[in-house]
Structures are given as structure tokens and as C-alpha cells.
Amino acid sequence: MRKCVQLKKKTAKSSKQSVVSPIAQTMNSKVMLLSESPRSQIITSKIGRIFALDCQPFSVVQDCGFRELRETLEPCCQIPSRKHFTRSVVPKLYSSLPLTQIPIYAVSDNAKNMSSALTGKPVEHLSCAAHNLQLAVSDAFAEVGLDSLLKTCRSIVGHYKHTTKSRERLQSLQKNRVYQNIL
């Protein structure tokens, strides 16, 4: 669990000590809501909706800012663990919410068949960022002429990887630091 830094306001110290009666202490003490109480269940359900509808990570309930917000809004409510949300609250919400309220995403490459298959469906189509990056790097290598250089390098590495005699000779040369002029 993450530790929060608590910011406290500085208060002027008075020379007189205040005497608080036991009744006042009882009135000022926080009585925690039971997890079965209607108010606690409403709060838990609303937090679960944040996860279900906004695709927020379950770890939010452990964050300092979230705990401070909960303390401000409802200091007497104990928020369940993220495991409780994962195993109980959110699955119940998904089973009770209409599918139109739950965002559904499909991640794929940029192929036409995938785009056309998802057309007209209640799905948000997203391109795979890793695939887009790989395409951009491949195009850049081809424009600069690095693709033929990479092909040659792969061929050399493959040769030494698969030929024991050549690999041993290369390791021997590397140990003795005797390098031939390749070009």
C-alpha cells in the first residue's frame, strides 16, 4: 500500500490546555459505517461505476488523492480493497448495465479486413500503437537504405550463430583482439 504524506496546518499553541468532556469526545469521534449499510453500499457501487464506465485502474482506491477525497466526502465510510472491486462489485455492474453504457474497444493492426469487419458495430476501433511504430520504423529504414544493411547484418550473425567452427574462430580472434579489415 502506498504511503501518503499528510499535510497538517500549523496552529498557534496556547498556554491553556483545553479540557474535553467524555460526551464531547464521543460526539466528535468517527463512527465507521458498516459495509452492509445502505450508504456504504451506494458509495461502493458508485466507485465501481468509475471502474466499469471510465476504465480506471482498480489501484485508484489505494491512491493518496483518492483516500483524501473519500475522507473529505464521507469520512465514516471504509472503502473496500481493490480485490473486492475486481471480484465482486465490477462483475455485478457489468452484468446489470446495458451494453450501450459499457465502452467496448477492439485493438488491431491497420488491415482493411479488420476495419471493415468492425464497421457498424458498437465497438471503438483502435489501431495497435506497437504495430504503427513497427510500420513507421520499417518505412524509415527502407527510405534511408538501412533495410539492406540490416539484411546483411542478420546474415552475418546467422552464419556465426549456426556454424560452430566459425563462431569458435571469431571468439578466439576477439580474445586476442586481432581484427581483420573487413572492408
Per-domain boundaries in the chain: 32-97, 104-144, 146-183
pLDDT per residue as tens digits for the range 39-55:
888 888 899 888 888 87
β-partners of residue 107 are 126
pLDDT of amino acid 15: 47
pLDDT per residue as tens digits for the range 146-181:
888 888 999 999 999 999 999 998 888 888 775 555
pTM (global) more than 0.75: no
Q: How far is CA 97 from CA 52, 55, 57, 111, 149, in A?
A: 9, 14, 19, 32, 55
% of residues, the chain, pLDDT over 70:
76
Average pLDDT over the chain, rounded to whole? 78
DSSP string, 83-127: HHIIIIIHHHHHHHS-GGGS--EEEE-S-HHHHHHHTTSS-EEEE
pLDDT per residue as tens digits for the range 88-110:
888 888 777 776 666 778 888 88
Q: How far is the C-alpha of 177 from the C-alpha of 27, rounded, in Å?
A: 82
Contact (CB, 8 A) for 79 and 34: no
